[in-house]
Amino acid sequence: MDNRHCLFALHQLQGIGWKTIQQIMMRLSSLDDVDMMEAADWMELGFTPGRARSLSTLRNSLRDGQLESAVSSYEQAGIRWMTVWDDDYPELLRETADPPWILYTRGDLSLLNRLCIGVVGTRTPTVYGRTSAELLASELSAAGVCVVSGMARGIDSVAHEGALKGTGRTVAVLGCGMDTIYPAENRGLFQRIAREGLLLTEYPLGTKPHAGLFPLRNRIIAGLSAGVLVVEAAVRSGSLITAELALGYSRDVFAVPGPINSPKSKGALKLIKDGAKLVASAGDVLEEYGNRIDLQNSAYSKDTQTASQKLSSDESLICELLVFGPLTIDQLLQQSQFTFGHLHAVLINLLMMQRIVEIPGTAYTLR
């Protein structure tokens, strides 16, 4: 039995996770003989009696056809698997301190060979956050960048949807087995990513989502990505954990600024204060990777020029108010009758589309 299939069988055992497999790898030079090991053998290696009994069941799964049956069940579900030793395992992820032993995938594996950027944020975004995430993800994808996120509610889902509009597509890293759609309302998005992008998880079939799995999922998002972009996040949040992991992996960290009085912006603002690059357009991210993407022959420039001509009624109103000269944000609030939050979102959109510019005194003028 080769090491790959022994590792696969080991990964299917209930209660055997990343740390246990790491301990096995540290104590055994090879998995060649695990089909001979009984509970006493595992205990001699330092495992507790309970864990040793669980590991001893590996003998049966390798001998009585359970392994072949498990491999077949993945094939029938259209799920491929790769180990950390395989050539097609993502190199960036392999370089991290704690790469998954096995990845289960469904969809287009070639996306892992593209420049990948993680886009993460709060599960309860504002209109501004949703608009920013979708616009940035769609522009990154138009430039050929693959957007990586975690399929969670809020910014993650919006980022996947935006990325599917471009050629770069998207990778969804799941915090559960491939046979569970979480959250349930993402069923349509899940199925579309399976067809047009890539679903990826380190958890075997039958693994249900629970809180402890999501921080582990975040390390994969950071590990797959050359950089991580945070759009709206609280100071204590999974998004900032992902950003911290990215820094630990020597990856770039980007953040979208937001209103200073919004709790959902405090995490991104903290990242910017600590040295993350401020992002007001996809170009702010793309300029860091000019040697890895071909913007001249991508849809990015063409798409952004086209998008800039399509203004909503509220965006058109602000542009009309600025026709006669610069206005401060207070003047725009008074003349537009918008709420502060809505006006801020409209102004950010116009800035991203390069239709307006901000000038000293918290004022804006047409470009």
3 state SS of 108: coil
Burial code (b: 16+ CB inside 10 Å, e: under 16) for 341-361 equals ebbbbbbbbbbbbebbeeeee
**In CATH, which of 3.40.50.10490, 1.10.10.10, 1.10.10.60, 3.90.870.10 is domain 311-366?**
1.10.10.10
CATH number of 109-304: 3.40.50.450
Is residue 115 within 8 A of residue 145, CB to CB? The reply is yes
CA distance 204 to 210: 14
Q: What is the pLDDT along the chain (367 residues), one digit of tens a residue?
A: 688 999 999 999 988 899 999 999 999 988 888 888 999 999 999 999 999 999 998 888 777 778 899 999 999 999 999 999 999 999 999 999 999 999 999 999 999 999 999 999 999 998 888 988 999 999 999 999 999 999 999 999 999 999 999 998 999 999 999 999 999 999 999 999 999 999 999 999 999 999 889 999 999 999 999 999 999 999 989 999 999 999 999 999 999 998 888 899 999 999 999 999 999 889 999 999 988 876 655 667 555 544 445 788 899 899 888 877 789 999 999 999 999 999 999 998 898 887 888 888 889 988 7
Render 154-190 in DSSP notation, one character per residue.
THHHHHHHHHTTSSS-EEEE-SS-TT--SSGGGHHHH
**Sequence ranges of the domains in the chain:** 1-76, 109-304, 311-366
Is residue 171 within 8 A of residue 146, CB to CB? The reply is yes
pTM as predicted:
0.82
